[in-house]
Amino acid sequence: MFESGVLELVPDPQVRREFGGVSEMTIWRWDRDPKMAELGWPSAVKIRKRKFRPRKQLEAFKANLLRQARSGAKIAQGR
């Protein structure tokens, strides 16, 4: 959030770039994967057929991934 209390939303194309250029299909899979939800993958906010993710929740998700990687635990895999 900004100091003014406005929620910062990140469009999905930017989210994809921040995660190394993952595909739309990867994001679609993450949206449906309960293991990713456990790690804090944020639900999409839809505005006029476009999807956005809250910045604060994305950063928390990234921190959880880093924590899990440092602990040596396996990261959720689709198959």
Instruction: Classify residue 78: in a domain, yes or no.
Output: no
Helix (H, G, I), strand (E, B) or coil at 45: strand
* Average pLDDT of span 24-39: 96
The reply to whether 59 falls in a domain is yes
Residue 42 counted as domain residue: yes
Burial label for 30, CB within 10 Å (0-12, 13-18, 19+), is buried
pLDDT tens-digit readout, 32-72:
999 999 999 999 999 999 999 999 999 999 999 999 889 88
Domain that holds residue 60: 9-71
Q: Judge whether 76 lies within some domain.
A: no
Residue 41 in contact with residue 18, Cβ under 8 Å? no
63 in a domain, yes or no? yes
Flag whether 55 is in a domain. yes
